[in-house]
Structure 1
Amino acid sequence: MRTKKRTDTRKAYVPRSRLDDASADDERTERVAVSAREADVEVEELDISTVKDEESAKLALDVDDARALEDEEALDSDEEVAEYDADLPDELRDDSDTPMHILPLYSLLPSDQQMLVFAPPPENTRLVVVATNIAETSLTIPGITYVVDCGRSKERRYDADNGIQSFEVGFISKASADQRSGRAGRTGPGHCYRLYSSNVYEEHFARFAEPEILRMPVDNLVLMMKSMNIDNVANFPFPTPPDRQALLRAEKLLLRLGALSLAAKSPLGQSNSASQYKITELGRSMSLFPLNTRLSKLLVQGHQHGCLPYVVALVAVMTVGDPFIKEESLHEGNDDGVGEASELSLESQYLTSEKQMALEKRKAVRSSYFKALNRFAATSGAISDPLRLLSVVGAYEHAKGSLQFCQDNFLVPKLMEEVHKLRGQIASLVQANAAPSTDLSALRSTTIKPPTSKQVNVLRQFITSAFIDQIAIRADLAPESAARVPMLQQNADGEQIASKQFYLQTKQGAKMQSTRNVAYLAAGIPGEACFVHKTSVLFHQQPPEWIVFSNIVRGRAKGDMLERKGRNWLKGVTIINPNWIYTLGPTLCSLSKPVDTGRGDTRSKLIEAAQELQRKNKMATVQGGDNATEKHVYLIPTYGTGPAFDASERSSYAGWELPAFMAKQTLSKSGKWVTAAK
């Protein structure tokens, strides 16, 4: 017989919370009736029963329980550890209570600080060296007993398809792991602790690291071989032969720089042959300098208009790299800041919280850091990142290489010292290979005078010529077919994904007062937006229309940093005049049919710009007529469609129209108009 379940209808009275004000004392507490099932259960009412099953009972036991100590794999007690250490040599005993003397070791560390790892540590301390893979080979630190190997390293990766560089953390090779373990016990007993399993070691570690010839551009190697009359580079018996496509890309780059020329009756894009590319006189001059091919061209052209001292310094600092401290490293190991960073605001002096004071110090460091960047940019007109580096070198030499100067201006002293030495070496090479008519007197001086406005303009043209295939145009000015690059938006996971809007639709470039989030289209990188890096001199200026960049880096998220994942950052940016592009790189451009000014043209804006330039330069004109034998026409160059590109590459270059220029036509005897070369 089924019984009906009784429902408890008793009421529970729950008093309302008493108010804090005095008037609540006189009020009668209101009582609310609720069901017992709906009432909150107090903790005291819970039945804490004993553990019922045997498996749960084992989990409830403390590790110090008598039964747990009987387990062979249980943790050792302090007494057992002490007894075990007593049987070991002094070098291997557990001295975890000994204070640690921690020292860093990496390549950019000043030499005097690097040498500290070889000095005996303070008495009653334990030496701990935190090192990069600089300590992997050819280095023996006395007294090192243990090595802790994480099995990873950070290396620069180069994307051969688009030239984008990125720094990625990956597994090391087995050979590197063996080298790291060999750092332990060099002068006595030792041990290496590897923070990875044997399965990871076998499955993910290559036997040897990939040779640099397989992962970096080989254009400098190809130029050197061409200068030695080794035309068929692909068939050369390399110990480790590079990829044939890498060799072909190197030859095409040298062709665009003017170091190689295309042999007659040898169309670009055919299979590599000994007669396809020939070295030019410019290429032979470039091969005399063991530098990056772009910087070699910059150096060869630098004797014009008295710019040689500036070009030598510029090549030296661009070879070494940006000497400024990285922004993410500003606060590492020093919360007091560097140089001017210790100057806090007046309001911050009254802060009592240590956390707030530390925050104010960090803000002061960042403020002084960007002030230093802008200070050097102002001396060059704030139009070029490479010219800002030139200002840094000049100021450093004027300060006679002062360490205090580096600290006050957030510069890495070791890099600046390397720039100083390399500048002297390059000057010696220039003196040894320069033509007799070249004026070399300015190279003998260690100091550098500020360049004139004309020299600054010439230096910008030199930079454009050296990086002529790395041009970028503001996205809203590019042709619609090229500028339909989807804008990026952040999803819930913090990743940058494509949205339904396009950068062309925003027309933001002409309106913005800063290049922040203003998209550019870079030559050779189709379908991807690029952005000026925040450390550039152009970041807080109105976005220019045309720029040239020295390198492009793929941004990646790092911890809690707000760097946008997947963005392409343009570095080493310089504002350029688009009228320079065809003059400096004619093989990268194609020309339109001659446009007669009397007939009009759909691209009238380009013609009007050329006419305005003609009036400014007071160029002489040739009056045409019915019986004229000479007349002026206009030609419109298009960047990215010239003979230096084959059909497959032209899809990577948008085909951007450049300002028109005036050319003279003469009437031939056959009655045809012939256009004279510019």
Structure 2
Amino acid sequence: MELCLGDGGGDSNALVLPAKRNKRKGTNQVESKKEKCQKGVLFSKAGFEAFVTDPHPFNKIDSDHTCSESEPEVEKTQSWRDIGKNDQDHVKEMPKANISRVSKSSISPAPRPLISPTIVHVSRPEEVENTRKDLPIIMMEQEVMEAVNDNSTVIICGETGCGKTTQVPQFLFEAGFGSSSSSARSGIIGVTQPRRVAVLATAKRVAYELGLHLGKEVGFQVRYDKRIGESCSIKFMTDGILLRELQNDFLLKRYSVIILDEAHERSLNTDILIGMLSRVIRTREERYAEQQMEMHLGRTISPDQRIFPLKLVLMSATLRVEDFISGKKLFHDPPPVIEVPTRQFPVSIHFSKRTKEKDYIEQAYKKVLAIHKRLPRGAILVFVTGQREVEYLCQKLRRASKAPSIKTSKGDTRSDASEVSEINSAEEIDMKEINEAFEVHGSSAGHQTDRFSSFDEDQYDIDEDELDASYDSETGSELESFGDDGGSLFHDIPESDSNVAEVLGEEGGIASLKAAFEALAGKTSLNSNSDAKEPISDIVDSCTGKNSGFEDNNSPGTLHVLPLYAMLPAAAQLRVFEEVKEGERLVVVATNVAETSLTIPGIKYVVDTGKEKVKNYNSSSGMETYEVQWISKASAAQRAGRAGRTGPGHCYRLYSSAAYSNIFPDFSLAEISKVPVDGVVLLMKSMNIDKVSNFPFPTPPDGAALDEAERCLKILQALDKDGRLTPLGRAMAHYPMSPRHSRMLLTVIQVLSKKKSSGANLVLAYAVAAAAALSLSNPFVRQFEDSHKESHDLNEDGNIKVKDKLGKLGRKKLKETVKMFREKFSNPSSDALSVAFALQCYELAESPVEFCNANGLHPKTMEEMSKLRKQLLQLVFNQSGVSGGENDLSWTFGSREDVEHVWRVSHSKNPLSLYEEELLRQAICAGWADRVAKRIRGSSGSSEGDRKVHAVRYQACMLKDTVFLHRWSSVSNSAPEYLVYSELIQTRRPYMHGVTSVKTEWLVEYGRSLCTFSAPPMDTKPYYEPLTDRVLHYVIPAFGPHLWELPLHTDPIEGYKDRVSVFAYGLLNGQVLPCLRSVLESMAAPPAIVLRPEAAGQARVGNLLAKLRMKKIDSCAMLRKVWKENPSELKTEILDWFQESFRCKYFETLWSQMHIEVLLEPEERFPKTSRRVKVKS
């Protein structure tokens, strides 16, 4: 080791920072070694140099001393482990440095370990090398690695297809990250993806390109499907998995670098991870500095306890990084942004002269026909808002294509006849995971997460007034708020039966993921647009003749029209990659699923309506509304870029440049601004982050949303009145799911732990099925919509509506059919239990698809629900035993196999007893205790304007306005006085969905924080309840802001003195120990006088109450405890209550019997035949 002895030397434990490449100002001359020595720079023979952060505390040497070229001895310590074997041979003794003056505040940025260059040699297949060299990211490897080495956080921006997803982990791997040869970098390279299938696809691709084994050096983990070897260097996982690891190990000691991919999607999990990792980075830097100080003082730190700084790489497909770099709350120093250059064919942008908001579907129809007639070959991609619009426009274009000649319609070309062509689904391939690859959680700008992009994007377009259309519950809404797969931390759920890895392992599996792999491997081009405003006629000549159009321009051929939306089966989605017949033109009508990660080959023309459908959540009212609104500018750019992936293209925007400039937002809101954040708050509280508002969110949630989340968690009894986590809340936090669903499942477990039931396993099975039913869309809806594919039309607002074209007879027959399907599975007390029973029958059916067709159920929804049920059941057993240490919060009745067995054996129409059904309804009430509605008595139909509302009216607890119970709810026939709902959806009017009838006593038990209690009625008396060993009195509760008066309710007495007085009365009256009942006639005074305040002056009353209060005896349990310590306690005070004749002859026998009975359990002291049922006195 060469030592500089300018201002002072440094030892191997000195706090060092990598040296910068300093040049003198105004010259290109590099500083000499001597000049650097004067600044306290260390050199190694390997060429590595480092600054000593504070050279002044070192022992001073004469100022005229020159740099020594000798090799002074340096003490070998663990802080130099990373120099390398060659350098270590030259490490000798050197003077110790005094670093006591170096404080934490002086270490900014934090010190980094000395690391010798580590190179990991990789042998790639020739095909991979040829592919990689064309990726834009490859040319920037040096810039990326320099930024990573010099900064704790780096942001990489590159459009889809630049290769960042697959290549950046390889850059890090080749630089020594994840290698055991470098201690500071030996931690795993962690890579997160928002979707499960992307994890599997990228893991397989990276392993293939590096020539490594999948499941060994390159591993992956999705939920409980985990393949990681002991020598794993790169680990791919969903963001929820990493969030779960953070809960268990906040410092993430196993990792040396974390890559968060698709950060531009701004999913809830990613935003939480960014905030937490910013603190992990800072904490690990501080711990590293502390360990260096400790080691300098001679303390030994074992290798497995060593902590090195963590690197964070954020990768985004857009330049929307302001939230990450602005302000110092998230990162103290703004991280550098590396922009990967785009590689895009030119795309001409054509704006409309005018913006017509009301008939954008008709405008899109005309534009497609105009393109088809006038412009050369090339596929057309049309963006609309939802499934119903997709199906309608596909149908209309097919009809036009079947006409003898295609004309540009000046009027309405809609036809009332013709069937929508059915999608061939003969191949029943389980491709849900592949489908997820195409389901964009959100565009790079117009973000729409799983919560907002329903499996059926249009399930709420029809309301009660349009042919009594069916209702739904939003898909995956709460359950996937924080899942491991981009739904919500709160899901660490096992993989479904169809193993995704096996699908990807098949030869055809990769082919079926053509578009996804094109994006990953960089075979697609990137997006850069050129603006133009010329009409179609002006650009015809710009299209070359060799590739211009069809053989007969007068007859342009037919259109091959295909839909593309999230609810479409995966096999049908893959049809967009099939080659079209000669003379046909492909037209894909899609939702924003096609905006980003899905690249459809051959797209040359994009027709952009500029609209999207989003689901907005009002935190104050709990109301969710579907709104069609303008997309963001970034989303518009993504849509236009679809036309330039495989060649030059054109984008026709059905809105004006003025509307684009003045109305369109730059970016859409992050997910955290659109969803309930109760799960986020619960997670933070479980990680001891009490002040959630201080958490460094990239985009902080609204303060009102945080307040509403805390209010919700207090109602769910997850937080106490001071906002601290309760044992129940800690158990709920262990469940990676919505707090409402975890509260529901834990309530079932709690109640069954106290009240044994022979059917406990079946109850749990139905509870899990009901949770799945409350998390996905209503499976009955599709049979109605499929029957009306020919009745879609446009209303004046441009949205697809159902128009009455079938006639009264057809409508009546349709209603009868729908009613028959629903009544077959209907449970009159709960929508969730109705769907749960349908799910059980579905899983027992020999042919599930035929079962769905025969019973009006949607196959894909039922399949998804079935998989979710199995995952949730596994989750219950995985979490049992770790639920906060509470015995009543763990399942103890049977195994998962036992539950599955009873689920598959019991299939009668009423598999549950009334008690078991009530228990499930009670659990649902516990999870949605603040979403209560009370029936408004009066006419079942009320007039609003000129229209008749055929729905039962209710008053929602948290709203002022009236809400409605849909007539197709299974609860609508009984229309109970009180009910809870899982969702409130605003269409033309607010409808409740996921409805369950509840009892008033449940509202008091589970919604206690919403209740106010009046003074006990004068005509009632308090009493002791032996079965619960509590002292109770009657109260009149009022529920919610509307102060609904509930029936008389018994409640524990809070005042200690009053509680003791009532217990004394119960003790003397034989309610505590039954042996005293037979001797009431021998008492000197009636026991009831102890309840009278004026009787406290009597000796026998005063003495007994005083002794009970002194010993704090207000229950049988406390009496047992006192007598165990002193059997003679209370003997004198009770003796005073008996007549003289009884004391001499019988009291000793009575006293012995009392000591025997106090040891018995309540059920033994009061058998069922003698239990007293309390009524008003």
TM-score when normalising by structure 1: 0.66
Partner of 1:582: 1004
Which residue of 2 is the match for residue 44 of structure 1?
none
Given candidates 650, 656, 671, the residue that maps to 2:1044 is: 656
Per-residue deviation, 1:585: 2.4
**Which of 622, 630, 635 is matched with 2:1035 structurally?**
635
Moved more, 587-596 or 222-231: 587-596
CA distance 1:112–1:320, shift in 2 (3 Å): same
Aligned counterpart, 1:245 = 704
Contact 2:774 2:994 in 1 (8 A): no
Distance 1:666 1:254, change over 3 A: closer
Q: 1: distance between equivalents of 2:858 and 2:866?
A: 13
Q: Which residue of 2 aligns with 1:224?
A: 683
Whose relative contact order is higher, 1 or 2, with alpha carbons under 8 Å and at least 6 apart? 2
Alignment of 1:196-595 (within 5 A): 196-263=655-722, 277-303=723-749, 304=752, 305=757, 306=760, 307-326=763-782, 329-333=785-789, 364-377=813-826, 380=827, 382-400=828-846, 402-434=848-880, 435=890, 437-440=892-895, 441-445=897-901, 447=904, 449=906, 450-476=911-937, 489-490=944-945, 516-526=950-960, 528-539=961-972, 541-556=973-988, 567-595=989-1017
TM-fit CA distance, 1:321 = 2.6
Q: 1:467 to 1:419 in 2, by over 3 A?
A: same
Is the aligned partner of 1:177 residue 2:636?
yes
The answer as to whether partners of 2:713 and 2:719 remain within 8 angstroms in 1 is yes
Q: Secondary structure at 2:929's aligned position in 1? A: coil
Rounded Cα–Cα distance in structure 1 between residues aligned with 2:983 and 2:587: 37
| Structure 2 CA distance for partners of 1:620 and 1:595, relative to 1, 3 Å | farther
1:169 CA drift (Å): 0.3
1:122 deviation in Å?
3.0
| Equivalent residue letter for 1:593 | A
Q: Contact between 1:555 and 1:568, CA under 8 Å: does it hold in 2? A: yes
Deviation by residue 1:162-221 (Cα, 9 ceiling, x = unmatched) = 111111100000111111111113222321111000001011111111111012110001
Q: Deviations over 1:140-166 (max 9, x none)?
A: 111221111000011111122211111
Task: Compute the displacement of 1:455 (Å).
Answer: 1.1
Q: Which moved more, 1:317-326 or 1:146-155?
A: 317-326
Q: Distance in 2 between matches of 1:552 and 1:197?
A: 36
How many Å apart are 1:367 and its aligned residue? 2.9
The one-letter amino acid paired with 1:524 is: M
Q: How far 1:476 sits from its partner (Å)?
A: 3.4
* Distance in 2 (alpha carbons) for counterparts of 1:591 and 1:127: 67
Structure 1 residues 581 and 185, CA gap change in structure 2 (3 angstroms) = same
- Equivalent residue in structure 1 for 2:570, among 111, 122, 126: 111
Q: 1:142–1:356: structure 2 CA closer, same or farther, 3 Å change rule?
A: closer
How big is each residue's C-alpha offset from its partner over 1:516-537, in whole Å with a ceiling of 9 and x where there is no partner? 44321110102x1111012211
Q: Deviations over 1:479-501 (max 9, x none)?
A: xxxx9xx975315xx7x9xxxxx
Q: Give 1:91 deviation, angstroms.
A: 5.2
Alpha-carbon deviation of 1:581?
1.5
- Residue 463 of structure 1 and its aligned partner are, at CA, apart by 0.9
Kept in 2, the 8 Å contact 1:596–1:634? The answer is no
How far did residue 290 of structure 1 move? 2.0
Deviations 1:378-408 (A, max 9, x none): xx3x221111111111111111561111222
Q: Deviations over 1:507-563 (max 9, x none)?
A: xxxxxxxx944321110102x111101221133x2432111111111122xxxxxxx
CA displacement at 1:661 relative to structure 2: 2.6
Inter-partner Cα distance in structure 2 for 1:585 and 1:401: 43
Q: TM-score, normalised by structure 2?
A: 0.39
CA RMSD of aligned residues (A): 3.6
Equivalence for 1:165: 624
**How far apart are residue 320 of structure 1 and its match?**
2.1
More off after superposition, 663-672 vs 444-453: 663-672
After superposition, the Cα gap between the structure-2 partners of 1:472 and 1:185, relative to the gap in structure 1 and judged at 3 Å, is: same
Give, in whole Å, the separation in 1 of the partners of 2:892 and 2:806.
Answer: 62
Residue identity in the other structure for 1:288: H
SS at 1:122 equivalent: coil
Compute the displacement of 1:292 (Å).
1.7
SS of the residue corresponding to residue 124 of structure 1 reads: coil
Counterpart for residue 590 of structure 2: 131
User: Contact 1:331 / 1:362 at 8 angstroms: preserved in 2?
Assistant: no
Equivalences, count: 489
Q: 1:309–1:448: 8 Å Cα contact kept in structure 2?
A: no
Paired-residue identity, %: 37
Structure 1 residues 568 and 87, CA gap change in structure 2 (3 angstroms):
closer
Deviations 1:219-274 (A, max 9, x none): 001101111111111111111111122111101100000011123xxxxxxxxxxx
What is the SS of the residue equivalent to 1:104?
A: strand
1:596–1:632 contact (8 Å) kept in structure 2: no
- 1:578-598 deviation digits (Å, cap 9, x = unpaired): 122112322221221111327
5+ long unaligned stretches in structure 2: 1-534, 792-803, 881-889, 1062-1089, 1095-1104, 1106-1113, 1116-1173
1:141 aligned residue: 600
**Does the aligned pair in 2 maintain the 1:635–1:662 contact within 8 Å?**
yes
Opposite residue 88 of structure 1, the aligned amino acid is G
1:591 corresponds to which letter in structure 2? F
In 1, the alpha carbon distance for the partners of 2:1004 and 2:962 equals 24
Q: Read off the aligned partner of 2:569 and give its amino acid letter.
A: P
8 Å CA contact 1:318–1:386 kept in 2: the answer is yes
The offset of 1:322, in angstroms, is: 1.6
Q: Is the 8 A contact 2:610 2:654 kept in 1?
A: yes
**Contact between 2:783 and 2:856, CA under 8 Å: does it hold in 1?**
no
Cα displacement string for residues 53-92 of structure 1 (whole angstroms, at most 9, x for unaligned residues): xxxxxxxxxxxxxxxxxxxxxx999xx999x599534256
The separation in 2 between residues aligned to 1:661 and 1:128, in whole angstroms, is 65
Tell me the SS of whatever aligns to 2:563: strand
Q: Give the aligned residue type for 1:302.
A: V
Q: Secondary structure at the match of 2:952?
A: coil
Q: Specify every segment of 5 or more residues in structure 1 that has no aligned partner in the other structure, as ranges.
A: 1-74, 264-276, 336-354, 478-482, 497-514, 557-566, 600-609, 622-629, 641-652
Q: 1: distance between equivalents of 2:764 and 2:1093?
A: 46
Post-superposition Cα deviations, 1:39-61, rounded to whole Å, max 9, x if no partner, equal xxxxxxxxxxxxxxxxxxxxxxx
